[in-house]
Amino acid sequence: MKNRTKQTVPLLLIALSLLLIGAGTVRGEAQLVLTKAINICMECIGIG
Amino acid sequence: MAKKRTTLRLWVQAGWFALTNGYAKGFLEGKIYKGATKFVCVPGLNCYSCPGALGSCPIGSLQAVLDSGKFRFSCYVFGFLMLFGALMGRFVCGWLCPFGLVQDLLHKIPLFHKKKNLPGHQWLKYLKYVVLVLFVILLPMTVVGITGMGDPWFCKYICPSGTLFGGVPLLLSNPTLRSAIGWLFSWKMFLLVLIVVLSIKYYRPFCKYLCPLGAVYGLFNPVALYRLTVDQDKCVHCKGCQQVCKMDIPVWEKPNSVECIRCGDCKTFCPTGAIHSTLEQLRVKPYGGIEAEKGGENK
Ligand code: SF4
Ligand code: SF4
Ligand code: SF4
């Protein structure tokens, strides 16, 4: 891979990741994550 | 020099843990934090049921979205995984993950004859991809109950980070939860103890063989902003870098191996100074330009 491509690929991925986070928030995924995270996860702690 | 770097890394790991798990009241009262910062995924395997946690574990969050029955794909969590991965790849593992820190500390205990890898390392290292595909993605999505919801299989049956940082402190400080302990907790404690004992003898067995988060970040190592490069004009192929690398990577051939946790030990050791990171190469020159990458960047 050329140096320029090597520098561009991560920047494109970062831009895409921000778009995905935005899209996920609009779809209601962020709210779902928050709801899971603020209630004790019984499976995580080995009870559930 | 190498010792200095290891100490710096331990301080960064501990500092990051304290910063992202700073809800002290949770530990005292056997509760977890309920604030809005838990929207955000932290980079490491940091259980959101740890009483101090201020953010969310990406692997737990991914299962929560996929087993909800509402989404077939998680834009949100893959977004965070891609963001951390594209910025730094497995630098997260070396510097910013609580369970990586735990294994590093355990390996310092002067017990047993130390070894890098478990027998069967060649094959076992692929197990983490099976765990990722099966326990984090497929089983939570496909094995669903009458409500249409599945289970977070990795959290439930495997994750030792959840047992250690979530289960143990919550059960110690919360009698109601303690009364609900059953066979599942015994299984998870058995796994945790096994990993703890193995970590004293072998270097980071959970990271090498089982962690789905390390598996994801490793895929980004060759394309992340933070990479290693080997200056082929300087490298004398002494193989010393592989000898000091506890992840056992032939750095002169594969500086961006999916197994590299970016600890920097090889860079500090290299007798000819042939190993560089892209961070150093981005150093701005006095006249305002940016230094180009030197030498070959083998993969
Ligand atoms: S149990 Fe493990 S994977 Fe699940 S949320 Fe906790 S730390 Fe993350
Ligand atoms: S492999 Fe997993 S447990 Fe190990 S340091 Fe990386 S994210 Fe943490
Ligand atoms: S290759 Fe270098 S930076 Fe990567 S794990 Fe090995 S010693 Fe650490």
Q: Which helix (H) or strand (E) holds B241?
A: helix B240-244
Give the distance (Å) from ligand 1 centre to CA of residue A27. Answer: 23
Contacts across the A-B interface (CB distance below 8 Å): 159
Written as tens digits, the pLDDT of chain B (299 aa) is: 677 888 999 999 999 999 999 999 999 988 999 999 999 999 999 999 999 999 999 999 999 999 999 999 999 999 999 999 999 999 999 999 999 999 999 999 999 999 999 999 999 999 999 999 999 999 999 999 888 899 999 999 999 999 999 999 999 988 888 888 899 999 999 999 999 999 999 999 999 999 999 999 999 999 999 999 999 999 999 999 999 999 999 999 999 999 999 999 999 999 999 999 998 876 655 554 444 444 445 54
Q: How far is CA B43 from CA A16, B126, B253, in A?
A: 17, 22, 28
Find out whether the beta carbon of B230 lies less than 6 Å from any atom of ligand 1: no
A6-19 burial, b at 16+ Cβ within 10 Å, e below that, comes to beebbeebbeebee
Q: Residue count of chain B, please give it.
A: 299
Q: B37 exposed, middle or buried (CB, 10 Å; 0-12, 13-18, 19+)?
A: middle
Is the Cβ–Cβ distance between B116 and B199 less than 8 Å?
Answer: no
Q: Which CATH architecture has domain B228-299?
A: 2-Layer Sandwich (3.30)
Q: Give domain limits for chain B.
A: 2-220, 228-299
Q: A5 exposed, middle or buried (CB, 10 Å; 0-12, 13-18, 19+)?
A: exposed
Beta strands, E only, chain B: 228-230, 275-277
* CA atoms of B182 and A45, how far apart (whole Å): 11
Q: Is B238 within 8 Å of chain A by CB?
A: no
Task: Check B48 against A44: CB less than 8 A apart.
Answer: yes
* CA atoms of B45 and B164, how far apart (whole Å): 12
**Ligand 2, CB within 6 Å, residue ranges:** B 44-45, 93, 97, 99-100, 206-207, 211, 213-214
Q: Which of A1, A20, A46 sits opposite B75 (nearest CB)?
A: A20
The pTM for the full model equals 0.93
State the nearest Cα–Cα gap between A34 and chain B, in angstroms.
5
* CA atoms of B145 and B6, how far apart (whole Å): 47
Q: Measuring CA to CA, which residue among A47, A32, A31, A35 is closest to residue B155?
A: A47
* CA atoms of B270 and B47, how far apart (whole Å): 36
**What is the interface pTM, i.e. ipTM, of the complex?**
0.95
